Amino acid sequence: MTRKLRFSLLMLIIIMLLSPVIRAEEKSIFKLRDPVGDEYGPGSYTYPTSEQFSPYEGLFDLMNFKVEATADKYNFYFKFVEVTNPWHAPYGFSHQLIQVYIDNQDGGITETFKPGARVKFEEQHPWDKLLKITGWSVELYSSSDKAEVENRVQEAQVKLNDKTIKLTIPKEKIGDLKEAHYYVLVGGLDGFGYDNYRPVVEEAQGWKFGGGTDTELNPNVIDTLVPEGMSQKEILGSFDLDEGRVATLRAVGPDLSLSLKFMIIIGFIVILVLTLVGAVFKFVTNRIGNFR
């Protein structure tokens, strides 16, 4: 076996071993699990009393959020504990109002596009793009857009499978997401409400959530993603009635320290593979030499 052939075979083995990892990195941009059973806002929210909200649990309980990239599109996945469609929405889900505020550029703002959610965002991650997803439409806004304008994305595709809502949208509509941070807000869809958020009041009613304060300060967000080490109760409960301050949400995004650890692990694997393959080739070469 010639040295050139041995080197070619070695490189082929390395590529075969690492290609699944490379493909995965190219496809998966970000993913995060959310605790089950936290569809209670700051810890006190309860379901509306109308039978339309049966089974009165799971409809707003986000379990997983994931962003993937293909050659020219992004796929956003939102998995819920329960999904029903009593109002026959064309996309297969009636209750969920999903807003994804994205920080992927310089600039941006920390106020919501419209005040329906009754929250604001941290200064470190002002948002640039907003995706608004319901069972009837997908809308996309920039932080510089006027709130009076409705920007529906006709090219977007929404599918429901196994209680997972999948949104597919052209990359050019959003921009680069490799280092993006996200605010994922889940509310109850109110087709007649401002910004389509179903309101939260003190006592639950037929079409309103309970557990609020009957003010304009408690969040209308039922579930949200929070960074590791923080609690949803703490973040959504950070509004202040005395000071007239709404809650400040925290962004989630790629952990650079984890990425560095991943690269170090891959480096060790490559070195180990090279060492093992080198030893095997040396052994085989010696065996062949002994037979000559």
In a domain, 244, yes or no: yes
* Structure confidence at residue 27 (pLDDT): 87
* Structure confidence at residue 71 (pLDDT): 96
Same-domain pairing of 10 and 62 = no
The 10s digit of each residue's pLDDT in 208-255 is: 999 999 999 999 999 999 999 999 999 999 999 999 999 999 999 997
Six-digit token string for 93:
């889900």
Same-domain pairing of 148 and 240 = yes
Q: What is the mean pLDDT of the chain?
A: 88
* Structure confidence at residue 193 (pLDDT): 86
Domains of the chain: total: 2
Tell whether the model's pLDDT for residue 73 goes beyond 70.
yes
1 or 139: which leads in pLDDT: 139
We report the CATH number of the domain holding residue 190 as: 2.60.40.1190
In a domain, 125, yes or no: yes
C-alpha 206/C-alpha 131 separation (Å) is 28
* Structure confidence at residue 144 (pLDDT): 96
| Single-letter amino acid, residue 10 | L
Give pTM, 2 decimals.
0.81
For residue 173, what is the DSSP state? G
Please give the average per-residue pLDDT across 23-45, as a whole number.
88
The 10s digit of each residue's pLDDT in 86-122 is: 999 999 999 999 999 999 999 999 999 999 999 999 9
Same-domain pairing of 242 and 267 = no
- Listed in sequence order, the DSSP H helices in the chain are 3-27, 232-236, 256-291
* Structure confidence at residue 292 (pLDDT): 56
In a domain, 26, yes or no: no
In a domain, 27, yes or no: no
In a domain, 25, yes or no: no
Same-domain pairing of 243 and 271 = no
Tell whether the model's pLDDT for residue 270 goes beyond 70.
no
Same-domain pairing of 244 and 119 = yes
Please give the average per-residue pLDDT across 45-50, as a whole number.
99
The 10s digit of each residue's pLDDT in 143-194 is: 999 999 899 999 999 999 999 999 999 999 999 999 999 999 999 999 998 8
The 10s digit of each residue's pLDDT in 258-267 is: 444 445 555 5
Same-domain pairing of 105 and 133 = yes
Same-domain pairing of 55 and 13 = no
Same-domain pairing of 102 and 174 = yes
Same-domain pairing of 261 and 241 = no
C-alpha 239/C-alpha 188 separation (Å) is 20
C-alpha 99/C-alpha 82 separation (Å) is 18
Q: Which domain holds residue 100?
A: 34-249
What proportion of the chain, given as a percentage, has pLDDT over 90?
Answer: 76
C-alpha 141/C-alpha 108 separation (Å) is 12
